[in-house]
Structure 1
């Protein structure tokens, strides 16, 4: 089953499915930012048409005055956003979609672009570790059999969409934003710990399980405690694609299969990418014991991969349990990527050395 991408504005009380599409993959944040800026520019020029056709959000701008935004589509007349470059995830708000895709929360600045339209930005240090970008197809229903993937021009030279990445086949057809792409990690059979026990990630996605288990904020490497958390989002791909995986085997016979960039806790309490682990390093079990790695294989897998994030945003509560081992949520690949390679779980301070 394929899931549509929902945003917090559309579904605040249930887990959110966020799209990632390897078929339309962009390898750098610079490429993602360029796609978002292209969508903002095309949305204003093609669908707004007049720089004065803004609405005042009433929110203060860090540059002075109030923030002005543009509606690219009428949600009542065109709820599926046919022909819109920003899509329904952000309610067709051109500037809001830009900052939400590229930045963490923070002061929002406002300027005027070369075409006279208001344009928003935030401080560079508030950029997301992995930025989001829109992906397009011929239908608003990503499950439709006749839904065809579309691509912007490879150099973003125009506001056309194409049937091929080489931009040789213009798509003179209706188009829709199917979601915003980001990274994902688990193969479908990998088991994540929920309150009732381990559940394969694909089964959790299908049932929208909300009872995710994570570490408590005060957990340490020698005093791990689990808590019932809530699921904030699931990430999955729109289409099957070839994935590069690390298959990690431990001394106890455990096995963890994740993408190369997946965040994992090593024996030092440090969060690292799976691809940096070596034989002799250790994974950390949910009970705190270390399990030495005896084999690491790199392989490819054709299909979809998945990930998950809890509601809590503190770093330690974004450590969950997969296949019995401590791993990081998708936030460590996106908003909190700057914490990779840092120690998150320290040793407890003995009582006898406390003042």
Structure 2
């Protein structure tokens, strides 16, 4: 299976997640602190704006659809639109969806906003087909496209671009007036006159580069694991409890990488044994109650859980700054317990607890023989 380099991100040709198809190789997604969208609703508005701009500027005709041959939950087959020809324009100059999604407008929208599930099809006021899924299938955190002036993120002349602030306005009438122009400043004052490219789709990430994650042959820094696209991730088994922790060989589903160097607030958590975690404020961590909590909520006297099940009291919590990139990882399995990883010998949650499973933060994940109906 060939692998290509797009915008500095390694992407397996088989790693694109189709709406109804599982992938075969590791996916790389991105985190975008410089182009941070601070609420899920705003991320959805940007995705909707990108879909609209893609159809207006690059499709141009509601009848220019192609048949995906996939069944629509509303009957018939799903119709999609392609913004650009991957052969003639492989970097996607001028497109509002990226090469990762083969410039498919509706397909990219579903991947950004929803988990898998039945896909419904309708037509908008302009006659274009669009897709929806049930609201309960929405991702805990939507992905959203980020733009720049070149297709190569690391290029010296690459400049971050932003949609006009109206795109994320809470007033639907204001959002409807937003143009497809991109700007070099967040305030929408300096329009770009150069070609535009989608550099990736953004989500959260957590670890500083030196933090070590458990793989089949021992601990590996998250940066080295990312660079090597390590797939042999170790997680808890799905039947683990605090009384009976069991590690299993899993498989890496995805890595998340910060798209540009940026300043991050990092929590440095030191324990009585001398161990230490360095993670971003929202990083999910298992505490001594078996509860999944955000790192920013931990305090001196709380306990972390080590990989052998022992509890290690926190003796110091410091907040510091890290300039650079941060990373995260998710296993192939999707149940909550097997999305608990081992970092620096402590049990922590995968990136899924910050995105798809954000609702489970501050809930008991590892419990001691407690009836399921009483778990908060």
The answer to whether 1:207 aligns with 2:228 is yes
Find 1:6's aligned residue among 1, 4, 11. 11
Contact 1:9 1:90 in 2 (8 A): no
> Which structure 2 residues correspond to residues 132-143 of structure 1 after superposition, within 5 A?
132-143=143-154
Counterpart position of 2:244: 223
TM-score (norm 2): 0.89
Find 1:243's aligned residue among 250, 261, 264. 264
Instruction: Give the whole-Å Cα distance in 1 for the aligned partners of 2:158 and 2:265.
Output: 26
Deviations 1:162-203 (A, max 9, x none): 111111111111111111000000001111111111111111
Instruction: Give the whole-Å Cα distance in 2 for the aligned partners of 1:38 and 1:134.
Output: 10
User: Equivalent residue of 2:28, what SS?
Assistant: strand
Instruction: Give the whole-Å Cα distance in 2 for the aligned partners of 1:10 and 1:178.
Output: 17
Runs of 4+ in 1 over 6 A off after TM superposition: none
Find 2:288's aligned residue among 250, 262, 267. 267
> Which structure 2 residues correspond to residues 4-83 of structure 1 after superposition, within 5 A?
4=9, 6=11, 9-10=14-15, 12-83=23-94
Contact 2:12 2:26 in 1 (8 A): no
Deviations 1:227-270 (A, max 9, x none): 12111111011111111111111111111111110010111111
Q: CA deviation at 1:273?
A: 0.9
Instruction: Give the whole-Å Cα distance in 2 for the aligned partners of 1:95 and 1:68.
Output: 8
Deviations 1:250-303 (A, max 9, x none): 111111111110010111111111111222111000000011111111222211
Q: Output the aligned Cα RMSD.
A: 1.5
Q: CA deviation at 1:348?
A: 4.5
Q: CA deviation at 1:49?
A: 0.2
Instruction: Give the whole-Å Cα distance in 2 for the aligned partners of 1:311 and 1:109.
Output: 26
Contact 1:3 1:17 in 2 (8 A): no
The answer to whether 1:331 aligns with 2:365 is no
Instruction: Give the whole-Å Cα distance in 2 for the aligned partners of 1:172 and 1:186.
Output: 36
Find 2:125's aligned residue among 87, 111, 114. 114
The answer to whether 1:257 aligns with 2:268 is no
Counterpart position of 1:91: 102
Counterpart position of 2:195: 174
The answer to whether 1:307 aligns with 2:328 is yes
Instruction: Give the whole-Å Cα distance in 1 for the aligned partners of 2:208 and 2:324.
Output: 8
Contact 2:15 2:26 in 1 (8 A): no
TM-score (norm 1): 0.94
Contact 2:29 2:201 in 1 (8 A): yes
Contact 1:5 1:18 in 2 (8 A): no
Task: Identify which range, 75-84 or 258-267, moves more after superposition.
Answer: 75-84
Count of matched residue pairs: 348
User: Equivalent residue of 1:155, what SS?
Assistant: helix
Extract unaligned runs of 5+ from structure 2. 1-6, 17-22, 168-177, 371-376
Contact 2:15 2:24 in 1 (8 A): no
Counterpart position of 2:183: 162
Contact 2:30 2:201 in 1 (8 A): yes
Q: CA deviation at 1:13?
A: 4.4
Find 1:287's aligned residue among 308, 314, 331. 308
Instruction: Give the whole-Å Cα distance in 2 for the aligned partners of 1:42 and 1:9.
Output: 27
The answer to whether 1:149 aligns with 2:160 is yes
Find 1:129's aligned residue among 128, 140, 157. 140
